[in-house]
């Protein structure tokens, strides 16, 4: 397919465009470049970010924040960064404020606790931008509104559920998992309905699924396609971003291997994606920050060779050195966290295989819905137990338990409402948390290596862990009894080591730094950072890859000097680290 300066997804563009996909695939860059393209064509454009770690302002070189801000260098373009945490605070206050001083303090605290989780934050952010999907004073001046990070199927399913829980719970008939987040929906249900209708209207909305030419990325975006199509969002377009041009493979064995790997992934693309209209964008040698870079995103360019980018070392250790330190403890919980697409699954598998090869008992598990552990290991390993926290199986187990306990004395109407609530996605978060709690208890006698879901899902788990800890502390504190909660285990550096995984690129490093701040607020100190798939550490000879290697150096330096207490750099490899042998080579030498 020919690279083009006019992507197909911008032809006859509808009013609303949503850009979604795994972390690190280039959603923000493509959304920003699209906004510039439409504005330069004479259209008035509003670019909206709903990403908690939004870097739209950094891309344009100005401060944006939670207000509509004109982009001075681009006529007819404005931007807005929705702050999910600020939205959640306002949402909570809208619900709690009217009953403060009216209901007993204990009841008010209970309401506030029910609104403390990530479900509330997600719904509150949706609450903020639903106004942008309806005709209003805010939106009437814009021909196009572009969203960087589309609403998930999780959020839309929440908003489609009936709003009958409040009376049900006030009557003391049940224990719905989404009461807090959903308690305020009824007043704005008509606005939410209009927003969901707009999303499902192909004449008004186009969903742009962004992926890389990698098997895991394409599988993930296929899953997103299916989830959104199942709730009526069918007007979808695929963008495969960052494809290494064939010309770069001519005289560089690394570039040749990467190019072939990408072509193989495209040839094996999941069937649901093959029927979608598609654009392929070439990998760029530069960081996509600033107007000149964004204007060049949709244009193919020849890259001059600027020579060796220099030394990538910045007091970095090898992954093998980190594994030596981990092994010295004999047991414990090791959690790998970070954006989607940074290679957590591969690194978790590499650490687990190396520990098992030393004769240590290891349980490798994942809480990632995509769950690629089996493909990465490509076979069994002696001494290594492998499991997956299956959200569907855990949710069904939890549903049956609740129906057998909370629901056993309900009448037909009450049981029907309880069953409806248990179909909400919040139920899945609770069920996954319970499975997570069971597994991490094993770390007292063996190594538990956890490949976590992408950052947002991980924070949901931590929210549930924190809420559980606070509840137990309230119940047990007055009795003076000794207790240990999962949160206490995560906070204890003798029991838990958190490895933050990133790429040597601006957005993954920023998001890893934001995650580190969130963890520290929860009393969890990350043990190490791992910079994965480093081009500079691979010493390429391709002109394009040399330029990218040079661009990595400031990011590696920032990790070494500003963010990490200890860090390792893992080079980009010619062969994918699949199978026990290659995984051991990655972590053991």
Over residues 25-36, the mean pLDDT reads 89
- Of 405-414, 459-468, 512-521, where does mean pLDDT reach its minimum? 459-468
Q: Is 387 helix (H, G, I), strand (E, B) or coil?
A: strand
Summarised one tens digit per residue, pLDDT across range 117-127 is 666 776 777 77
The answer on 337 and 290 residing in a single domain is: no
Predicted confidence (pLDDT) at residue 417 exceeds the cutoff of 80: no
pTM of whole model > 0.85?
no
pLDDT of residue 168: 40
Average pLDDT score over the chain: 79
Is residue 544 within 8 Å of 283, Cβ to Cβ?
yes
From the list 387, 417, 389, the residue with the least C-alpha distance to 402 is 417
Is residue 327 within 8 Å of 356, Cβ to Cβ?
no
Predicted confidence (pLDDT) at residue 9 exceeds the cutoff of 90: yes
Q: Which residues contact 271 (CB under 8 A, 6 or more apart)?
A: none
The answer on 539 and 398 residing in a single domain is: yes
Over residues 455-484, the mean pLDDT reads 52
Q: Is 451 helix (H, G, I), strand (E, B) or coil?
A: strand
pLDDT of residue 484: 55
Range of the domain at 28: 8-86+119-295
Whole-angstrom CA distances from 410 to 13, 183, 194 are 51, 21, 34
Over residues 242-269, the mean pLDDT reads 93
The answer on 337 and 230 residing in a single domain is: no
Answer yes or no: is 383 within a domain.
Answer: yes
The answer on 219 and 133 residing in a single domain is: yes
**Top-confidence residue, 126 or 514:** 514
Residues in the chain: 589
The answer on 538 and 500 residing in a single domain is: yes
- pLDDT more than 90, % of the chain: 31
Answer yes or no: is 499 within a domain.
Answer: yes
Question: Terminus-to-terminus CA distance in the chain, angstroms?
Answer: 40
What HEC string does 271-333 produce?
A: HHHHCCCEEEEECCCCCCCCHHHHHCCCCCCCCCCCCCCCCCCCCCECHHHHHHHHHCCCCEE
Q: Give me the sheet containing 447-451, strands edge to edge.
A: 384-388, 362-366, 447-451, 332-337, 496-502, 528-534, 567-571
Answer yes or no: is 99 within a domain.
Answer: no
Confidence grade of residue 364 (pLDDT, cut at 50, 70, 90): very high
From the list 209, 192, 155, 151, the residue with the least C-alpha distance to 9 is 209
Over residues 190-197, the mean pLDDT reads 74
Whole-angstrom CA distances from 585 to 109, 246, 318, 425, 576 are 52, 28, 12, 40, 12
**Domain end position, chosen among 233, 263, 295:** 295
**Top-confidence residue, 223 or 153:** 223
Over residues 468-493, the mean pLDDT reads 60
How many structural domains does the chain have? 2
Summarised one tens digit per residue, pLDDT across range 316-357 is 788 999 999 999 999 999 999 887 778 888 999 999 999 999
Rg over alpha carbons for the chain, rounded to the nearest Å, is 24
The answer on 368 and 269 residing in a single domain is: no
**Top-confidence residue, 227 or 154:** 227
pLDDT of residue 308: 61
Residue 51: CATH number of its domain: 3.40.50.300
- Of 37-41, 64-68, 234-238, where does mean pLDDT reach its minimum? 64-68
Over residues 500-519, the mean pLDDT reads 87
- Of 55-64, 468-477, 512-521, where does mean pLDDT reach its minimum? 468-477
The answer on 284 and 335 residing in a single domain is: no
Answer yes or no: is 101 within a domain.
Answer: no
Active site residues: 24, 26-29, 51, 507
Confidence grade of residue 175 (pLDDT, cut at 50, 70, 90): very low
Answer yes or no: is 98 within a domain.
Answer: no
Please count the other Cβ atoms lying within 10 Å of the Cβ belonging to residue 517: 11
């Amino acid at each position: 397919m020919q690279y083009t300066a006019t992507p197909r997804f911008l032809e006859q563009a509808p009013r609303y465009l949503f850009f979604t996909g795994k972390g690190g695939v280039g959603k923000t860059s493509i959304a920003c470049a699209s906004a510039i393209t439409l504005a330069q064509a004479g259209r008035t454009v509003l670019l909206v970010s709903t990403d908690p770690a939004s870097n739209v302002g950094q891309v344009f070189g100005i401060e944006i924040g939670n207000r509509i801000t004109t982009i001075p260098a681009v006529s007819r373009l404005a931007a807005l960064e929705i702050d999910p945490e600020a939205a959640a605070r306002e949402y909570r206050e809208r619900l709690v404020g009217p009953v403060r001083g009216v209901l007993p303090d204990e009841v008010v605290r209970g309401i506030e606790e029910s609104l403390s989780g990530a479900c509330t934050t997600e719904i509150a952010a949706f609450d903020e931008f639903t106004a942008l999907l309806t005709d209003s004073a805010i939106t009437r001046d814009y021909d196009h509104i572009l969203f960087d990070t589309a609403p998930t199927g999780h959020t839309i399913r929440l908003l489609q559920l009936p709003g009958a829980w409040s009376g049900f719970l006030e009557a003391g008939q049940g224990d719905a998992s989404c009461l807090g987040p959903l308690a305020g929906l009824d007043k704005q249900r008509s606005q939410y309905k209009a927003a969901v209708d707009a999303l499902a209207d192909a004449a008004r909305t186009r969903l742009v699924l962004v992926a890389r030419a990698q098997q895991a990325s394409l599988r993930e975006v296929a899953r997103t396609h299916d989830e959104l199509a199942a709730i009526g969002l069918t007007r979808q377009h695929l963008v495969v971003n960052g494809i290494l041009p064939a010309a770069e493979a001519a005289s560089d064995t690394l570039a040749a291997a990467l190019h072939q790997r990408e072509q193989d992934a495209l040839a094996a693309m999941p069937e649901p994606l093959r029927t979608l209209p598609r654009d392929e964008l070439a990998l760029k040698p530069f960081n996509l920050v600033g107007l000149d870079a964004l204007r060049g995103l949709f244009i193919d360019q020849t890259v001059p060779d600027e020579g060796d980018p220099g030394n990538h070392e910045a007091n970095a250790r090898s992954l093998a050195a980190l594994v030596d330190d981990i092994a010295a403890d004999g047991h414990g919980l090791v959690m790998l966290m970070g954006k989607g697409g940074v290679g957590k699954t591969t690194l978790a598998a590499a650490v687990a295989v190396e520990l098992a090869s030393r004769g240590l008992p290891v349980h490798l598990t994942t809480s990632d819905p995509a769950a690629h552990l089996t493909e990465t290991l490509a076979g069994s390993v002696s001494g290594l137990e492998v499991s997956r926290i299956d959200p569907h199986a855990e949710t069904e187990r939890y549903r049956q338990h609740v129906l057998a306990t909370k629901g056993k004395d309900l009448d037909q109407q009450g049981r029907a409402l309880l069953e409806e609530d248990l179909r909400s996605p919040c139920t899945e978060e609770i069920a996954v948390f319970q499975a997570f709690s069971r597994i991490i208890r094993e770390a007292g006698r063996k190594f538990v290596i956890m490949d976590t879901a992408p950052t947002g899902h991980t924070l949901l788990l931590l929210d549930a862990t924190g809420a559980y800890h606070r509840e137990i502390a309230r119940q047990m504190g007055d009795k003076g009894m000794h207790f240990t909660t999962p949160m206490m285990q995560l906070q204890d550096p003798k029991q838990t080591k958190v490895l933050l995984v990133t790429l040597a690129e601006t957005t993954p490093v920023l998001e890893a730094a934001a995650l580190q701040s969130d963890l520290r607020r929860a009393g969890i100190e990350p043990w190490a950072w791992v910079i994965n798939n480093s081009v500079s550490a691979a010493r390429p000879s391709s002109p394009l890859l040399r330029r990218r290697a040079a661009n990595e150096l400031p990011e590696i330096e920032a990790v070494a000097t500003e963010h990490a207490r200890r860090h390792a750099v893992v080079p980009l490899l010619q062969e994918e680290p699949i199978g026990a042998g290659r995984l051991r080579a990655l972590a053991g030498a």
